[in-house]
Amino acid sequence: MTFLDHFNQLQWDELKMTIHSQTAADVENALHSTRLNHQQFLALISPAAEPYLEAMAQKSRQLTRQRFGNTLQLFIPLYLSNKCTNICTYCGFSLGNKIRRKTLKMDELDQEVAAIKKMGFDHILLVTGEAPGTVGVSYIKSVIERLRPHFSHISIEIQPLDQEDYQSLMAAGLDAVLVYQETYHRSAYEQYHLRGSKMNFNYRLETADRLGRAGIDKIGVGALIGLEDWRTDSAMVAAHLDYLEKTYWRTRYSISFPRLRPCEGDFQPVSVISDRQLVQLICAYRLFKPEAELSLSTRESATFRDNVLPLGITTMSAYSSTHPGGYADDNILGNEDLEQFTIDDNRRPEAVADAIRAKGLEPVWKDWSHCFSH
Amino acid sequence: MKSISLSAATRLRRSFVKHHPDSLESCQLKRTGTKLTMQITVNNQPMAVEPPISVEALLQQLNHLEKGIALAVNSKIISRSRWESYLLSDGDHITLIKATAGG
Amino acid sequence: MLEIADKTFSSRLFTGTGKFSNSQLMTDAIIASGSELVTMALKRVDLNEQQDNILGPLLDRQLEHNLNLLPNTSGARTADEAVYAAQLAREALGTHFVKVEIHPDPKYLLPDPIETLKACETLSAMGFAVMPYIHADPVLCKRLEEVGVAAVMPLGSPIGSNLGLKTKEFIQIIIEQSSVPVVIDAGIGSPSDAALAMEMGADAVLVNSAIAVARDPVQMAIAFKDAVIAGRRAYQAGLGGRSLQAQASSPLTAFLDDL
């Protein structure tokens, strides 16, 4: 039994209709409840909830402060490789795209780590494309082992792996895995993923189950907003999270809301989410799952991030480079022909930290310690 | 009073043991007059019974052959389907339980 | 309809058989309650008592009123004793349903979580439909789920105390997190307690003392029946919820107008 069995019971069109038929009364009911159910989440992401945005934001802020205090966790993504054997029509690393491919060698990795440590980061997210020949499990494992002494929290965002592989990486020091379904609309998914292992919708969908069974500390879920109707995809993310929390109850969860950005290939999103709607979505997630980590990336502009932070975000990246080798060499930063997507918030970490403090929050660099586990 | 000769008693015992292997353990037969008896307990109450005796026969004797009860011999549950064939041995501790009122 | 293991119940009020002044009254009350799951204890047969048939009147009407039997292991102090008791009960009553009830503390009758977890693991593996009686401990409930119980039965307050839902906040967490039916058992003192439990989303409640020691047990049983139906209906209709007094702060979303 995995989420796939539950997922096959969900009807995309029915969900979409339900969302669009939510009324102001439904929204108010959700706003006044603690412990929301999935149905109430649908009310909060519906068009009917748009006039209630300020109320949602106030409640979201309160719940976040109550649970997380006045802190914001900072992390940095490190792209180890942009080599990829998949064709994903929306991604800068897609196999067909003529970009310079690079995979970090160990000495280059060391340089990146040195640069990153100078900036103060202690939580790191390792990112790769899918190229098992070049960046397979053993490569990732070596990287984790090499990074372990320098970072208190290591997470990865790579291709889905088998349970045993995850267990092996966990033994090396892996703390968290982010795996986004991109879109939960099966036939749309087929149209975006034209080649490579990523074409396997089911295997990707069951990744969180494999992670839960492996006993990992934290799992990140989400959809790439824009690939299909953003409300319905978000409803699917919420259903996925609900199932995971009940089944793998010892695990922590993180939600992300990457919005499609321009990248190599000129891909246009099918469903556009406005800034206002993104705020609505963030608040809806917070009201639905007060304990979930909500993560905001540098895809968003500095202004947007600064204002949204106090509303419900608990973790964010700063000064990201989405291509391999982006930190050690400042000249490479902004080298567009290696990027996965364009960054919109280019501020250095100190500037981001200042902005966070200006909002009455404390930037946290380290929030994790391997005292008695492995 | 006529007493059974030793050899006759031995023959009786051997034949009993041969035909009732269940009661092979702790075969301590007592002689009471002309009859053999076994000492058992039922719900901690000591009792003397005449071998060979099946569980069903015991319950009949106690007037408790009824529905809704369960029986264990030496803490081993004997299911109803075996009551007729299961023979008791000397020294057996029988527990007889039934459902009763209680939240 | 409520499903627990392989059985379906149209009533979400479960009842117990203890503390009634006589067995006819017990039978009348249980039938008036509409309950379809009745719990009972085990005891040694009293060899001297031939007329001991307390449950007789109830069992006679079992089929007529769709009464399912839920023997409990009350009296057991360890997992081994509970497993033994469950097997005896299955043998005696012909049901694979069992309420694991292990309370070594005779004063408050509070359940032993460690022995209970052990017993449930063994009994689930033996094919029983296990319904453990436990404190309202959300983590314990998840552990019990993992060993395969058919439902969990967290207490509202100590057995017989009629103190109501003292463990309300924890019951709420259990209901939120549970993938098996949640039956609130013990301490439900009044129909309003039962209604509240159902409004919170409990799947069923088990009531014994409050009915048995009422001045008019039959009427009280009917009151509980109505309360459980009302509470469940309210839950399904979607309660309005109490408004949250949010701390007033400066507008948080005005910045969107400037973007």
Q: What is the pLDDT of residues B35-63, one digit of tens each?
A: 678 999 999 889 999 889 999 999 998 88
Q: Which pLDDT score is estimated for C160? A: 82
Could you read off the pLDDT of A215-251 as tens digits, one per residue?
999 999 999 999 999 999 999 999 999 999 999 999 9
Put simply, the answer to whether C17 touches B101 (Cβ < 8 Å) is: yes
Q: Which domain holds residue C216?
A: 2-239
Question: Helix H segments across B1-103?
Answer: 6-19, 55-62
A71-79 and A123-127 strand pairing: parallel
Share of chain A above pLDDT 90, in %: 70
Over residues C218-239, the mean pLDDT reads: 94
Task: Flag whether residue B96 sits within 8 Å of chain C, measured between CB atoms.
Answer: yes
Among C19, C43, C99, C118, the active-site one is C99
Q: Which pLDDT score is estimated for C13? A: 98
**CA nearest to B62 within chain C:** C47
Mean pLDDT of chain B: 76
Mean pLDDT of chain C: 92
* CATH for C130: 3.20.20.70
Residue bearing the bigger pLDDT, A133 or A372:
A133
Put simply, the answer to whether C256 touches A33 (Cβ < 8 Å) is: no
Q: Identify the band that residue B1 occupies on the pLDDT scale cut at 50, 70 and 90.
A: very low
Domains of chain B, start order: 6-98 (3.10.20.30)
B100 Cα to chain C: minimum distance (Å)? 5
* CATH for A89: 3.20.20.70
- C252 in a domain, yes or no? no
Identify whether C99 is a catalytic site residue.
yes
- A374 in a domain, yes or no? no
**Lowest mean per-residue pLDDT among A43-57, A80-94, B2-16, C151-165:** B2-16
Using an 8 Å CB-CB cutoff, list chain B residues near C50: 63
Res C12 pLDDT > 60: yes
Q: Which pLDDT score is estimated for A262? A: 57
**Tokens (6 digits) for A219:** 């799992």
Task: Flag whether residue C172 sits within 8 Å of chain A, measured between CB atoms.
Answer: yes
Among all chains, which residue has been given the structure tokens 């998840």?
Answer: C142
Put simply, the answer to whether C47 touches B45 (Cβ < 8 Å) is: yes
Put simply, the answer to whether A32 touches C178 (Cβ < 8 Å) is: no
Using an 8 Å CB-CB cutoff, list chain B residues near C47: 42-43, 45, 62, 64, 96
Q: Which pLDDT score is estimated for A97? A: 83
B25 Cα to chain C: minimum distance (Å)? 24
Q: Work out the number of other CB atoms within 10 angstroms of the CB of residue B54.
A: 16
Q: What is the ipTM of this complex?
A: 0.76
Res C170 pLDDT > 80: yes
- C247 in a domain, yes or no? no
User: B–C: how many Cβ contacts below 8 A?
Assistant: 95
Q: Which pLDDT score is estimated for A162? A: 97
Q: Which pLDDT score is estimated for B33? A: 54
- C250 in a domain, yes or no? no
Q: Which pLDDT score is estimated for B18? A: 52
- C52 in a domain, yes or no? yes
Res C247 pLDDT > 70: no
**Lowest mean per-residue pLDDT among A90-99, A331-340, C28-37, C162-171:** A331-340
Give, for C178, the enclosing helix (H) or strand (E). none
Cβ within 8 Å of C, A 237-296: 245-247, 249, 275-276, 279
- A371 in a domain, yes or no? no
Q: Which pLDDT score is estimated for A335? A: 52
Residue bearing the bigger pLDDT, A265 or B56:
B56
Range of A257-266, B40-49, C55-64 with top mean pLDDT: B40-49
Pick from B70, B102, B103: CB nearest C92: B70
* Number of domains composing chain A: 1
Task: Flag whether residue C257 sits within 8 Å of chain A, measured between CB atoms.
Answer: no
**CA nearest to A274 within chain C:** C256
Task: Flag whether residue C252 sits within 8 Å of chain A, measured between CB atoms.
Answer: yes
B36 Cα to chain C: minimum distance (Å)? 24
Give A30's contacts (C-beta < 8 A, 6+ positions apart).
Answer: A36, A40, A41, A43, A44, A49, A287
Nearest Cα to Cα of residue B92 among B58, B42, B31: B42
**CA nearest to C176 within chain A:** A35
Using an 8 Å CB-CB cutoff, list chain C residues near B49: none
Using an 8 Å CB-CB cutoff, list chain C residues near A34: 241, 244
Give A317's contacts (C-beta < 8 A, 6+ positions apart).
Answer: A74, A75, A76, A77, A125, A295, A297, A298
**Lowest mean per-residue pLDDT among A255-264, A297-306, C116-125:** A255-264
- A369 in a domain, yes or no? no
Q: Which pLDDT score is estimated for C156? A: 95
Res B26 pLDDT > 50: no
Q: Which pLDDT score is estimated for C241? A: 59
B54 Cα to chain C: minimum distance (Å)? 18
Pick from B45, B68, B101: CB nearest C92: B68
Q: How far apart are CA A331 and CA B59, in angstroms?
A: 95
Using an 8 Å CB-CB cutoff, list chain A residues near C259: 275, 303-304
Q: Identify the band that residue A322 occupies on the pLDDT scale cut at 50, 70 and 90.
A: confident
Q: Which pLDDT score is estimated for C237? A: 87
Res C64 pLDDT > 50: yes
- A373 in a domain, yes or no? no
Put simply, the answer to whether A304 touches C241 (Cβ < 8 Å) is: no
Put simply, the answer to whether A246 touches C177 (Cβ < 8 Å) is: yes
A42 Cα to chain C: minimum distance (Å)? 14
Q: How far apart are CA B29 and CA B27, in angstroms?
A: 6
Res A182 pLDDT > 70: yes
Query: Between helices A302-312 and A53-68, what is the axis angle to 10°?
Result: 70
Res B14 pLDDT > 70: no
Task: Flag whether residue B64 sits within 8 Å of chain C, measured between CB atoms.
Answer: yes
Q: Which pLDDT score is estimated for B9? A: 46
Task: Flag whether residue B34 sits within 8 Å of chain C, measured between CB atoms.
Answer: no
Using an 8 Å CB-CB cutoff, list chain B residues near C206: 103
Over residues C66-71, the mean pLDDT reads: 94
**Amino acid in position A344:** D
Over residues C168-196, the mean pLDDT reads: 95
- C254 in a domain, yes or no? no
Over residues B58-83, the mean pLDDT reads: 90
Over residues A107-111, the mean pLDDT reads: 93
Q: Is the dihedral of CA C170, A64, A234, A366 positive or negative?
A: negative
**CA nearest to C14 within chain B:** B103
Q: In terms of residues, how long is chain C?
A: 259
Res B5 pLDDT > 50: no
Put simply, the answer to whether C91 touches B70 (Cβ < 8 Å) is: yes
Over residues A63-88, the mean pLDDT reads: 91
Q: Identify the band that residue B2 occupies on the pLDDT scale cut at 50, 70 and 90.
A: very low
Put simply, the answer to whether C256 touches A275 (Cβ < 8 Å) is: yes
Put simply, the answer to whether C45 touches B69 (Cβ < 8 Å) is: yes
Q: Identify the band that residue A132 occupies on the pLDDT scale cut at 50, 70 and 90.
A: confident
Q: Which pLDDT score is estimated for C217? A: 96
Over residues A259-285, the mean pLDDT reads: 84
Q: Which domain holds residue A345?
A: 3-364
Q: Work out the number of other CB atoms within 10 angstroms of the CB of residue B28.
A: 10
A276 Cα to chain C: minimum distance (Å)? 6
Res B23 pLDDT > 60: no
A141 Cα to chain C: minimum distance (Å)? 31
Q: Which pLDDT score is estimated for B24? A: 41
Res B21 pLDDT > 50: no
* Number of domains composing chain C: 1
